Every structure is written in C-alpha cells, then in structure tokens.
A = this chain, B = another copy of it.
Amino acid sequence: MSATDQSLTSGHKHNEIQRAIAPQAADPEAAEAAEERKTDRWLLRRISSFLGEPPLEFVVRGGARVRPASAPVARVTFASRATLVSILADPWVRLGDAYSDGSVTVEGDLVQMLEVVYRASAAADKPSWLRRAANLAHRPHLNSLARSRDNIHHHYDIGNEFYSLWLGSTMAYTCAYYPTPTATLDEAQTAKMHHVCRKLRLKSGESVVEAGCGWGTLALHMARHYGVRVRAFNISREQVAYARERAVREGLAGQVEYVEDDYRNISGHYDAFVSVGMLEHVGAKNYPTLGRIARRCLGSNGRGLIHSIGRNHPARMQPWIEKRIFPGAYPPALSEMSQIFEPSDLSVLDVENLRLHYAQTLRHWLGLYEAAGERVRAMFDEKFVRMWRLYLAGSIAAFSTGTLQLFQVVFATADNNDVPWTRAHLYT
C-alpha cells in the first residue's frame, strides 16, 4: 500500500472534526465511528507499549492512528481491528504471521523499522503486562534425536535450489568474516573458512571431525587448502546428498566423508573438532553432552572451535522465528556456552564476537534474496516471500542492535601446551 492512501487521509481528517465537535455530536453514526476509533487507538497503543514505544506510526487501515513522540522511522499498518485483536492475543508470534500474510504492512525501510523495535524493546525498563504474559506462553522444547531430525528437516530441507538463490557461490549458511567491510559475500565466506582453519592450526595429514556441516563447504575447504581428512556429520538429508555430490565433483571424496547422523553419534579420534552454526540447534540442556563428545574424540593435543549465534545474557529465542523459521533453535549466552567446556575440563583459549560481520552477511543475503524475489514466489508463494524477508531483515536488525551476538570459541584439552603463543598468526 502507498504512504498517501486516500481513505486513510480522509479518515484522519474526519477524526479531527469528530474530536472538535464531540461530545455534542448529534450524528449517532459519527459518534459510533469516533467510539470505534477510540477503541482502535487503545489497541494500537497496546501494540506500541508491547514493543517498548518505538518511533513508529501505527495505523488501522482507513481508520485510527497512533504517532510516536519523535519523528516516525516507518509506518506500520494493520488491515483491520480483527488483525489487531488477533495479534494482541499472542504478539510475539502473530505480528510475524500478520506481516507474512500481508495483514500487516510496513512503509519505510523494514530493517530500520525492526532496528527501532529491537532498541525500544531493550531500552524498556519494565516490560508491559502483555509482554510478560507473552513471555510465559513460549517455552523452549527439548531436542531429542527424533525431534532434532524434524527440526532440521523443517528448515534445511526446503530445497537446495532455494538456498542457492541467495547464499552466494559458497553455499555457506553461517556468519562470514569480512577482513574489510567492503569484501564481497563470497570473499568473506572464504575468509571465514581460512580464519577458522588458522584458529585450529590445521596441518596436512591431520584428521578433523565436523559437527553439523551444512552443504559441506567448510569440510571441502579444509581438505583442499589444509590437506586434512574430514568426517562431517549432518542430519539434513538434502544437505548431505548435495555435499556428497559436490565432494565427488571436486575430486575430494577420498578425503572427506559425509555422515548422515546426529552429532551425538560421533565416534573415533581426531586432531581437531569443529562446529560452525550447529550449536543454535543443540539446545542448552545438551551442551555438556556436546562437550563430552568433543573431549572424547580429541587426543591430548586436541583443539576445537565452536561458532554460534549467541546473546549477551540468557533469553529465549524470538518466538516467531522459533515457531516459523527455526524450530528448536536457541542462541546461548556465554555462561550457557561454558557448560559445553567446563564439565569436560576443556580450556577456552579464544572467544571472538563477530556480530557486525553477521549483520553484514545478512545484508548481502537479503540483497540477493530480494533480487531473486520472483523466483522465490514461483517456487513457493507470496506469503513465503514475505515470511523469509521478515526473517532476514529481522536478523540484520538483531545483530546490528546487539540483540544477537556471534561467538567463535577456540578450545583445547586442558593439558595441551601445544597452543599458539599469540594470535598474531591469524593476521599475517
């Protein structure tokens, strides 16, 4: 819809007149309309309060509006009072759903709009009663072996062709590493893989186990550039099929084995353990198990790296993302991540927070995604296009506002003194 919607403008004028003449209004229809708008404004203010009073204009299509104290960054329009009421019953999930089905529209920059929402939410000293109630309604669930398989299938098996539209040529679906902010997506994904391999100080002839290997990009990179043998685990059937084909095509099938299995079934001994972008799906209760597995499969000179979305403090996953995009996902705080390492006496050597790199990665993904909008619509439908736009734009906003973090943690077995003396080797 356009910013100069005619009926909305006239509705607004009508409303002013109504206010001027009320309560002496003789026209019962006008009085009723005024009453309706009053109710709508109350509902809009509840939404605004729920979101922490961000600088946004909230509008009911053709009716009431609520303006912020400062200049609005964007206008959010609700299709009807029914939309509003439905959202207020479960705002965390239904705002996202209403955006997806088009009953909520945004005029202005979607990323900026989401950024002000994240900032206002974080700044709100006391969450509204509605937010407190909504928080109680959403509890994370446990990730059993079977549940994990369903969750991963939900997100990663929706089609390799779809992902290839916007992930760039590396098909790496995790935060890239931009040596400079002007690097391209593919350059940054390649730099990320080198950064990880250097942090692990991989040497030719060594063996590596990878937990959660996506479309197999990092495993191939390690084998090709560092001469290591890799066993890479993943429970997404589509991704493993894609990765195996790629390994054959690239002549690396002798060095890289893709195993369609859960990280909990990793066996054998390796020089290094690596997991990039799997931890988000592990669930905090399973962290000690993950650490035990890493410890078990490493020798006394073992070292490892875990790369994960995280948080500054423990908080539940955004419920709409958890429900519609990533079932079972949970980004941990460092205190929670430490439960991977501490019970198994693994020694944390290095933590790097790359959150601004993830905002940049997501900007590149969203750009490619929007450019491929017609093809995505043809593959799925308009609702899907809007849903994934919201997810990508919301993720940019989450990283750029510091709502989400990206932690790369390097660790070693406790008695391993063959650790780098400084980190200078990463930068020369």
Residues of A within 8 A of B (CB): 119, 122, 177-181, 312-314, 333-335, 338-339, 341-343, 345-353, 355-356, 400-402, 405, 407, 414-417, 419, 421-424, 426-428
Contact = CB atoms under 8 A, between A and B. Distances in A.
B179 A422 contact: yes
Contact of A402 (B335, B355, B414, B422): B414
Contacts of A179: 422, 424
Given A312-B414, A338-B333, A342-B333, A178 B421 contact: yes
User: Most chain-B Cβ atoms within 10 A of its Cβ — which of A343, A407, A427?
Assistant: A427
A194 to B, nearest CB: 13
5 contacts: A179-B422, A179-B424, A180-B421, A333-B338, A335-B339
Contact of A350 (B349, B351, B422, B424): B351
A419 B314 CA distance: 22
A38 to B, nearest CB: 36
A83 to B, nearest CB: 31
Given A348-B334, A401-B415, A342 B356 contact: no
A300 B197 CA distance: 35
Nearest to A338: B335
A176 to B, nearest CB: 12
A180 to B, nearest CB: 7
Contacts of A356: 417, 419, 421
Contact of A348 (B353, B421, B423): B353
B345 A313 contact: yes
Contacts of A428: 427
Contact of A342 (B335, B351, B414): B335
Shortest 6 CB-CB distances between A and B: which pairs? A351-B351, A335-B338, A313-B342, A402-B414, A427-B427, A424-B427
Given A343-B313, A352-B350, A423 B423 contact: yes
A161 B294 CA distance: 49
Contacts of A427: 422-424, 426-428
User: Most chain-B Cβ atoms within 10 A of its Cβ — which of A314, A346, A402, A405?
Assistant: A402
Contacts of A415: 119, 122, 401-402
Contacts of A343: 313
Contact of A345 (B180, B312, B341, B345): B312
Contacts of A334: 334-335, 338, 341-342, 348
A180 B424 CA distance: 10
A2 to B, nearest CB: 33
Given A312-B348, A338-B338, A356-B417, 9 more contacts: A312-B345, A335-B335, A348-B353, A350-B352, A401-B415, A422-B427, A423-B423, A423-B427, A427-B427
A183 to B, nearest CB: 10
